[in-house]
């Protein structure tokens, strides 16, 4: 009964979730509980199953086996628009022939809200992403970072309980990325929804997340806070993968004249 209890209390829960394409298992019996309002990041190398897992939560791809619940509700058979989720991808996917305000209003039109309510919600969403003056512009008139903020506003406008983001800052340069990371964290605090964020960038994961799920080869190696993963990596993979970004944060240990090893929690992870 404790597993059932966890499903009821969780923002998102995956119980032994598997995805197969023909003979190949790309997500392999994953168990994960994401708390309501948590900022959870899926971190791992390319091809480790992060996007496939996110797409199963979104409903863009089916679950082969296992149980998937969003706020206590079994969603495996529900289409994406009935799952109470918003989604932001790397390529902003705005409608080029619609203005910023029309782009953001689009999900509201589909829900048949009155024009007055739509206008109010669009203004609030634009304010949330600090784009209040840009409602009448077209996407082609905006920078990449501005377009991504509009995409974020569009995903948030109907106040979904879950926001799913797949490498949303991947196409942007480093400075803009760092600034938008701060903005996304602020927005997370303000809206209080459950955020799930996919990245292969360790530093991005470490700076943004409440907890991180480290993916490798279709499995989750470890789930924990940044501190947990650094101080007590439970597998060699986690130590090594995070080790790549610990050159500045870890403890440098001289091991001869030319080399420095990096130790994390007493384990040598980079030699």
Catalog residues that contact ligand ADP under the rule CB under 6 A: 21, 26, 44, 46-52, 215
**Is 188 within 8 Å of 161 (Cβ atoms)?**
no
- Cross-strand pairs, 65: 18
Select 7 or 43, whichever has its Cβ closest to ligand ADP.
43
Select 52 or 226, whichever has its Cβ closest to ligand ADP.
52
CA-closest candidate to residue 246, choices 221, 271, 222, 225: 271
User: What are 90's two structure tokens?
Assistant: 């790397």
Q: How far is the CB of 148 from ligand ADP (least distance, A)?
A: 19
For residues 234-256, one letter each, b for 16 or more C-beta atoms within 10 angstroms of the residue's C-beta and e for the rest, the string is eeebbbebbbebbeeebeeeeee
Q: How far is the CB of 200 from ligand ADP (least distance, A)?
A: 7
**Close Cβ partners of 81 (under 8 Å, ≥ 6 residues apart):** 110
Task: Tell me the longest C-alpha to C-alpha distance in the chain.
Answer: 72
Q: How far is the CB of 139 from ligand ADP (least distance, A)?
A: 26
**Is 264 within 8 Å of 239 (Cβ atoms)?**
yes
Q: How far is the CB of 55 from ligand ADP (least distance, A)?
A: 7
Q: How far is the CB of 110 from ligand ADP (least distance, A)?
A: 27
Select 15 or 25, whichever has its Cβ closest to ligand ADP.
25
Q: Where are the alpha helices (DSSP H) in the chain?
A: 2-9, 50-58, 100-110, 115-128, 144-156, 174-191, 202-208, 226-231, 236-243
Select 90 or 234, whichever has its Cβ closest to ligand ADP.
90
Select 28 or 263, whichever has its Cβ closest to ligand ADP.
28
Select 215 or 237, whichever has its Cβ closest to ligand ADP.
215
Looking up tokens 């943004």, which residue turns up?
A: 208
**Which H, E and C letters describe 58-125, residue by residue?**
HCCCCCCEEEEEECCEECCCCCHHHCCEEEECCCCCCCCCCCHHHHHHHHHHHCCCCHHHHHHHHHHH
Q: How far is the CB of 228 from ligand ADP (least distance, A)?
A: 21
Q: How far is the CB of 241 from ligand ADP (least distance, A)?
A: 12
Select 48 or 118, whichever has its Cβ closest to ligand ADP.
48
């Amino acid at each position: 009964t404790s597993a059932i209890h966890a499903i009821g209390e969780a923002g998102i829960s995956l119980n032994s979730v598997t995805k197969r394409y023909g003979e190949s298992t790309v997500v392999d019996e994953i168990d994960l509980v994401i708390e309501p309002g948590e900022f959870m990041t899926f971190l791992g190398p390319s091809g480790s199953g992060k996007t496939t897992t996110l797409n199963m939560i979104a409903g863009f791809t089916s679950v082969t086996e296992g149980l998937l619940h969003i706020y206590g509700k079994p969603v495996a058979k529900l289409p994406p628009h009935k799952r109470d989720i918003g989604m932001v991808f790397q390529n902003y996917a705005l409608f080029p022939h619609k203005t910023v305000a029309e782009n953001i209003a689009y999900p509201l039109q589909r829900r048949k809200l009155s024009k007055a309510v739509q206008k109010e919600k669009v203004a609030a969403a634009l304010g949330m992403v600090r784009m209040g003056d840009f409602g009448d512009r077209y996407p082609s008139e905006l920078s990449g970072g501005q377009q991504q903020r509009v995409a974020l506003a569009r995903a948030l406008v109907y106040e979904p309980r879950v926001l799913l983001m797949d490498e949303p800052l991947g196409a942007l340069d480093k400075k803009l990325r760092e600034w938008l990371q701060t903005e996304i964290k602020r927005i997370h605090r303000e809206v209080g929804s459950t955020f799930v964020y996919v990245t292969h960038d360790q530093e991005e994961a470490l700076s943004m997340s409440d907890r991180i799920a480290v993916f490798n080869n279709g499995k989750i190696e470890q789930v924990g806070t940044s501190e947990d993963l650094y101080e007590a990596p439970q597998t060699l993979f986690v130590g090594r993968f995070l080790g790549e970004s610990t050159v500045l944060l870890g403890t440098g240990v001289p091991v001869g004249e030319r080399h420095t090893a990096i130790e994390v929690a007493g384990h040598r992870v980079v030699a």
